[in-house]
């Protein structure tokens, strides 16, 4: 291994150590984080910081979440390789790439066309062929592909979106940040039951807002 490859491996190991200490115990999730090269997903000036446990800029004023939050949300989904997952808010594509390592099929929606095109390019580069993408308002879900075993929302909603609950299988789990941007948002784990939903609060978080409609540029 080259010196830089050794340094990179050490950075990854250090990050995994931090995540374990913070309660990420699902080894499959940790392996997925170690396997997906986060430096390919952040804005180039930040590539050298890709393995720090911090949120970083992508483009269009959006951010890639802190690795801890990605790990926590992924762990809360309790994925396996038979599952179909919907993501709202593709952004850089990083979370979708992690999901693709753990689930059978990933459907991801993004309202900013240029962001989606960049993410699609990364999926091609990495040979992630089980991710389907769509330029659309994720608030409407992806009806043609419903129901989903799991749904992950990576922008903050005002409340648990009823449209997405409708597209979740019975027994399915959705992880969604809810709340006003400038106020406290809380990450929720929502399970659909035969009669309604069971909601568990996971932790306070800070996400960009979920916005209606789409952007072409």
The residues assigned a catalytic role are 65
Which tokens is 48 given?
A: 């050298």
* Count of residues of this chain found to bind ligand SAH when the rule CB under 6 A is applied: 24
> Which single residue is written with the structure tokens 């409407």?
140
Q: Minimum distance between the CB of residue 33 and ligand SAH, rounded to whole angstroms?
A: 12
99 with 74: CB under 8 angstroms?
yes
Which tokens is 128 given?
A: 């992630």
In the region spanning residues 72 to 111, those forming contacts with ligand SAH, defined by CB under 6 A, are: 88-89, 91-92, 94-95, 109-111
> Which single residue is written with the structure tokens 């890639």?
64
Q: Which helix (H) or strand (E) holds 8?
A: helix 3-21
x/- map, 139-158, ligand SAH, by CB under 6 A: x--------------xx---
Instruction: Find the part of the chain contacting ligand SAH (CB under 6 A) among 13-21, 27-35, 57-65, 73-81.
Output: 57-65
Measured in whole angstroms, the distance separating CA 71 from the mean position of its chain's CA atoms is: 9
Interacting residues with ligand SAH (CB under 6 A)? 58, 62-65, 88-89, 91-92, 94-95, 109-112, 115, 137-139, 154-155, 208, 210-211
């Amino acid at each position: 291994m080259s010196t830089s490859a050794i340094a990179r491996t050490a950075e990854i190991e250090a990050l995994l150590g931090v995540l374990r200490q913070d309660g990420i115990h699902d080894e499959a999730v940790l392996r997925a984080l170690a396997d997906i090269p986060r430096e390919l997903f952040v804005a180039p000036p930040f590539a050298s910081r890709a393995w720090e446990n911090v949120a970083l800029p992508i483009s269009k004023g959006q951010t890639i979440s802190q690795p801890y939050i990605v790990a926590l949300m992924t762990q809360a989904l309790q994925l396996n390789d038979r599952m179909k997952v919907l993501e709202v808010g593709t952004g850089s594509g990083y979370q979708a790439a992690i999901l693709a390592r753990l689930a059978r099929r990933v459907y991801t929606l993004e309202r900013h066309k240029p962001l989606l095109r960049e993410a699609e390019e990364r999926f091609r580069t990495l040979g992630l062929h089980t991710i389907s993408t769509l330029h659309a308002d994720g608030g409407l879900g992806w009806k043609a592909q419903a129901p989903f075993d799991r749904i992950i929302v990576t922008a903050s909603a005002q409340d648990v979106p009823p449209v997405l609950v409708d597209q979740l299988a019975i027994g399915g789990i959705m992880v969604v940040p809810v709340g006003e941007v400038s106020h406290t948002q809380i990450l929720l784990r929502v399970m659909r039951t035969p009669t309604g939903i069971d909601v568990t609060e996971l932790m306070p978080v800070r996400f960009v807002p979920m916005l209606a409609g789409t952007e072409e540029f």
